[in-house]
Amino acid sequence: MTLNFLEIIFILLALSMVYLNLIDIFNYVILINLYPYLLIFTILAAIASIITHLVKSNVIHHIFYGIIAVYFIFFSYTFFRIYHNVKKIENIGAPSKITLKNEASFIYEDTTMFDEIIEAVSGAKNHIHIEFFIYRDDHIGKKIKDLLIQKTKEGIHVRLIYDGIGSIGLDKNYIKELKENGVEIRPYNNIIGSIIKGKLNNRNHRKIVIVDGKIGFMGGINIGDEYLGRDKKVGNWKDSLVKIKGEAVHEMQKVFLQDWHSISGEAIREDASYFPKVEVENTLPIKIIQSGYDAYLIGIKKEYYELLSGAKKRIYIVTPYLFLDQNMLEAIQHIANKGGDVRIILPKNTDHPFVGWVNDSFFRELLQNNVKIYQYSDGFLHSKIILVDEEIVSVGSANFNVRSQYLDYEMNAMIFSKEELRSMLKELNRNMKNSEEMTLQEYENSTIWQKLKAKLGVLIRPFI
């Protein structure tokens, strides 16, 4: 049996209607997890259909049918695991609380970020807890390794978590040397483990360092030379980090210990060595927000929506990857259209080709509704910042994309302070001076190819 062109178009339209209505059947988080698998399955089926019409070899036909059959089995298993995971724990989690006795300082220079972390780790007296999405064995990675080994020889307890796929290139000998010298190091789900658990599309994207339960760092940097601007392909790297002392560090510690227990199976007793008496007298409200696909109802997405919908006159967003659902778009446009100051700062040159397509897919609607868009041109902008009105700043690991809102494990610090906001505002103004403002006229005058890439960007939003 052969299909003519119109029949193929009809089948594709039917599949499109099914995909569009899946949201009424399944949990949205399940669909976001499954979207890449569905897209790959559709592409494979389309290729097989074309091949069977163009190539008359039965052997080739059987090979393609076999590939589709194997992939369908893999997809079915993954669907079951994802459905089981989300349904089992979708409502687990405790609401984040605001802590009061804190000190915080923002760090914007790449060398200063690592210098501050190294100084704090060097002064550790009891323990060091480290958790990063990307951990490399390059120059800065070796420097951190040597320091951690030195601290274990001093009797300091060191635990390190890295993402099994984000850090896929981490050398086995590097890991072995750390283990042999007393560093407890664990991956969050390598490729095989991720497939078995149905979590291939869920990553640990947190970037945190905790020293003695007293000092905490979080932000956008990972452990790698590119974060020091040493990758010639990327060039200058612009990021942000916040250093925290006080009660908020205890909230960070709780998240790390939960992660360690989940990954290693070791339940660590929460005693005074991990939660020491807070010596900070300063009052600075900070709320630590954690998130993951299994805690989406009380995580990053909720934080972002509350910040945007609660804004009165100003919203500044800094992110390398942009995704706004309809509610967020309406909240932003409402402030901008009533005279509010709404600005989004993005990198002009992205670290992945398709990221720019996704970012551009929002430009037209945002610009038509008086939102100002700046494209940072002095290197790659990787900061994840939201500044709202006169006293709220959010900094952390979470991007403004689908992965951070629905799929990955993240951590942000929401800081309530006019003084800290003014400090951040100065940095964002410097960023905008090194940016090119995109206007609606410039967007409308862009080439057909640029507009087509923006349209294609809509299709790949769930991947970014």
Which residues of the chain are modeled with pLDDT < 70? Answer: 1-28, 85-95, 293-298
Residue among 341, 372, 389, 451 flagged as catalytic: 389
Using the Cα atoms of residue 416, residue 209, residue 207 and residue 383 in order, give the sign of their dihedral. Answer: positive
- Do residues 410 and 301 lie in contact, with contact meaning Cβ atoms separated by under 8 Å? no
The pLDDT of residue 294 is 63
How does DSSP classify residue 71?
Answer: H
Taking alpha carbons only, the member of 348, 366, 317, 356 closest to residue 436 is: 348
CA dist., res. 314 & res. 342, Å (int): 6
Note if 382 is an active site residue: yes
**CATH class of the structural domain 98-287:** alpha beta
The pLDDT of residue 90 is 46
Cβ count within 10 A of residue 71: 15
Note if 389 is an active site residue: yes
Residue among 151, 287, 382, 453 flagged as catalytic: 382
The pLDDT of residue 48 is 74
Residue among 207, 245, 348, 453 flagged as catalytic: 207
Taking alpha carbons only, the member of 154, 162, 102, 160 closest to residue 123 is: 154
Note if 207 is an active site residue: yes
CA dist., res. 84 & res. 82, Å (int): 5
Taking alpha carbons only, the member of 25, 30, 63, 19 closest to residue 44 is: 63
CA dist., res. 335 & res. 445, Å (int): 26
The pLDDT of residue 10 is 60
The pLDDT of residue 114 is 97
The pLDDT of residue 95 is 59
The pLDDT of residue 87 is 58
The pLDDT of residue 25 is 54
Residue among 205, 238, 250, 453 flagged as catalytic: 205
- Do residues 126 and 273 lie in contact, with contact meaning Cβ atoms separated by under 8 Å? yes
CA dist., res. 22 & res. 443, Å (int): 33
How does DSSP classify residue 181?
Answer: T
Query: CB under 8 Å to 153, separation ≥6 — which residues?
Result: 181, 182
Do the domains spanning 98-287 and 294-463 agree at the CATH topology level?
yes
Per domain, the residue ranges of the chain are 5-89, 98-287, 294-463
User: What are the tens digits of pLDDT across the range 70-104?
Assistant: 888 887 888 777 777 665 544 444 557 899 999 99
The pLDDT of residue 92 is 45
Please name the CATH architecture into which domain 294-463 falls. 2-Layer Sandwich (3.30)
Residue among 151, 238, 384, 453 flagged as catalytic: 384
User: What are the tens digits of pLDDT across the range 303-360?
Assistant: 888 899 999 999 999 999 998 888 899 999 999 999 999 999 999 988 887 889 999 9
CA dist., res. 321 & res. 248, Å (int): 27
The pLDDT of residue 178 is 98
- Do residues 206 and 295 lie in contact, with contact meaning Cβ atoms separated by under 8 Å? no
Residue among 110, 212, 259, 408 flagged as catalytic: 212
